[in-house]
Amino acid sequence: MIKTLILLSAFLIASLHAQDSGADNKRPTLYPFDVTIGGQKAVMQEGNILFAVIENPVKPDALLEIEQQAPMLIINAFKVNEKGEVMQPGQQPAIIFARNTQSTKLDATMDKQQLQAGRYLANIVANGTTSRVVFVVEDKSGKFKVPSLKSLVDYLKKKQ
């Protein structure tokens, strides 16, 4: 719980910092820098200012890349259900820390566990700003049901 609050606080501070520092007003506040996962660049979809989306599923060990090197790259990914809601309120996110880099693999989590198949909402913090990205980790078993993007956007809009 405390770790989650600290990470959310870092996210809010980074967002405010981006606004205060005169960040490029053409870019959404919640996507100040580009993110690529598994070779796919996250894209802001029309009418959605909450997060960028990786269109196709990625492998659990996919490479996540940002535009430029960061002294500290922090990623926290929350698994969301078919409706776009966080799977378990208060759940511990998958957390990845990397120093002096512009890339890291999704399986470099602090707990050394691969991300399970499913949809994730990730906050990627680098160089004082945070980009929000939704992506799906592929499911070879076919049991995972991908929630609609609309349900995820509607859920996140309610939370703001």
- Residue 5: pLDDT band (50, 70, 90) is very low
Per the model's pLDDT, the better-predicted residue between 29 and 35 turns out to be 35
Residue 155: what residue type?
A: Y
CA dist 88 and 79 (Å) reads: 9
45-101 pLDDT, tens per residue?
888 788 899 999 999 999 999 999 999 999 999 998 765 577 777 788 999 999 999
Per the model's pLDDT, the better-predicted residue between 43 and 87 turns out to be 43
104-140 pLDDT, tens per residue?
999 999 999 999 999 999 999 999 999 999 999 998 7
Of the chain, the end-to-end C-alpha distance in Å amounts to 20
pLDDT value for 7: 46
